Amino acid sequence: MTKNFWIGLIIILIIALAGVSYQKFWKNPRCAYDGSAIPLIYEVDIVLKDQSTRKFCSVFCATQWYKNNTHLIDHVVVTDEIRGVKIDSYMAYFVESELITNETNDNRIHVFQQRQDALTHAEKFHGAMTDDPFTLDE
Amino acid sequence: MIINVYTLIMLFVAFLSLFLGGFLFYAALKTFLDFEPTIPSETKSKLEQKGYLIFLLACVILSVRMLAWPWFYFMLQSFVSEVPGAMCIFGVTQILPATVTFLQIIKPVSFFMMGGWLLCYYVDKSTPTAPLTRMNLFFLLIVCSILLADSIADIYYVLRMKPLMSVSCCATFFDVPLRPSAMIPQAIFGRHFQKMLFIMYYLTNIALIVLLFATLSKKWPLLAPLPRKIILYGQAAIGIINIPVVIYAFIENIAPRLMQLPYHHCIYCLIGNGLVPDAPIMLGLFVMGTFAIGWMGILRLFCMVTETQMVTERLLVKVNNLSAFCLLASIAMVTIHLILT
> Between β-strands A93-96 and A73-79, what pairing exists: parallel, antiparallel or unpaired?
unpaired
Q: Do A9 and B329 touch (CB under 8 A)?
A: yes
If you measure CA to CA, which chain B residue comes closest to A35? Answer: B261
List all residues 6 or more positions away from B313 whose beta carbon is below 8 Å from its beta carbon: none
> Does A18 contact B at CB distance below 8 Å?
yes
pLDDT for B166 beyond 80: no
Looking at residue B39, its pLDDT comes to: 63
pLDDT > 90: what percent of chain B?
47
pLDDT for A138 beyond 50: no
Q: Do B340 and A22 touch (CB under 8 A)?
A: no
pLDDT for B29 beyond 70: yes
Please write the tens of the pLDDT for every residue from B263-279: 888 899 888 877 888 99
Q: Are A8 and B325 spatial neighbours (Cβ–Cβ below 8 Å)?
A: yes
Q: In terms of residues, how long is chain A? A: 138
If you measure CA to CA, which chain B residue comes closest to A6? Answer: B325
Looking at residue B19, its pLDDT comes to: 92
Looking at residue B183, its pLDDT comes to: 86
The alpha carbon of residue B332 is apart from the nearest alpha carbon of chain A, in Å, by 7
pLDDT for B249 beyond 80: yes
Mean pLDDT of A67-73: 86
Cα–Cα distance measured from residue A74 to residue B120, given in angstroms and rounded to the nearest whole number: 64
> Does B236 contact A at CB distance below 8 Å?
no
Q: Which of B169, B329, B333 is nearest residue A34 as measured by Cβ atoms?
A: B169
Q: Do A105 and B169 touch (CB under 8 A)?
A: yes
Looking at residue B47, its pLDDT comes to: 67
Cα–Cα distance measured from residue B105 to residue B102, given in angstroms and rounded to the nearest whole number: 5
> Between β-strands A86-88 and A93-96, what pairing exists: parallel, antiparallel or unpaired?
unpaired
pLDDT for B220 beyond 90: no
pLDDT band at B308 (very low <50, low <70, confident <90, very high): confident
Mean pLDDT of B225-239: 89
pLDDT for B42 beyond 70: no
Looking at residue A27, its pLDDT comes to: 72
Looking at residue B43, its pLDDT comes to: 64
pLDDT > 70: what percent of chain B?
96
> Does A27 contact B at CB distance below 8 Å?
yes
Looking at residue B295, its pLDDT comes to: 94
Q: Do B333 and A15 touch (CB under 8 A)?
A: yes
Q: b or e along B291-310 (b: 16 or more beta carbons within 10 Å of the residue's beta carbon)? A: bbbbbbbbbeebbeeeebee
Across the A:B interface, residue pairs with CB atoms under 8 Å apart total 94
- What global pTM score does this model have? 0.82
Please write the tens of the pLDDT for every residue from A93-115: 999 998 988 877 888 999 999 99
Mean per-residue pLDDT of chain B: 88
Mean pLDDT of B290-302: 93
Q: Are A46 and A62 spatial neighbours (Cβ–Cβ below 8 Å)?
A: yes
Q: Which of A9, A33, A103 is nearest residue B84 as measured by Cβ atoms?
A: A103
Q: In terms of residues, how long is chain B? A: 341
Q: Do A16 and B336 touch (CB under 8 A)?
A: yes
pLDDT > 90: what percent of chain A?
37
Mean per-residue pLDDT of chain A: 88
Mean pLDDT of A2-19: 90
Please write the tens of the pLDDT for every residue from B235-247: 999 999 999 999 9
Q: Do B341 and A16 touch (CB under 8 A)?
A: no
Mean pLDDT of A31-51: 88
Beta strands, E only, chain A: 44-48, 53-56, 73-79, 86-88, 93-96, 109-112, 128-130
If you measure CA to CA, which chain A residue comes closest to B172? Answer: A105
> Does B168 contact A at CB distance below 8 Å?
yes
pLDDT for B2 beyond 90: no
Positive or negative CA dihedral for B32, B38, B43, B48? positive
Looking at residue A83, its pLDDT comes to: 87
Instruction: Report the range of poorest mean pLDDT among A119-123, B36-40, B313-317.
Output: B36-40
pLDDT for A31 beyond 90: no
Please report how the helices B225-249 and B193-216 are oriented relative to each other, as an axis angle in degrees rounded to 10.
140
Looking at residue A137, its pLDDT comes to: 57
Cα–Cα distance measured from residue A6 to residue A12, given in angstroms and rounded to the nearest whole number: 10
Looking at residue A39, its pLDDT comes to: 87
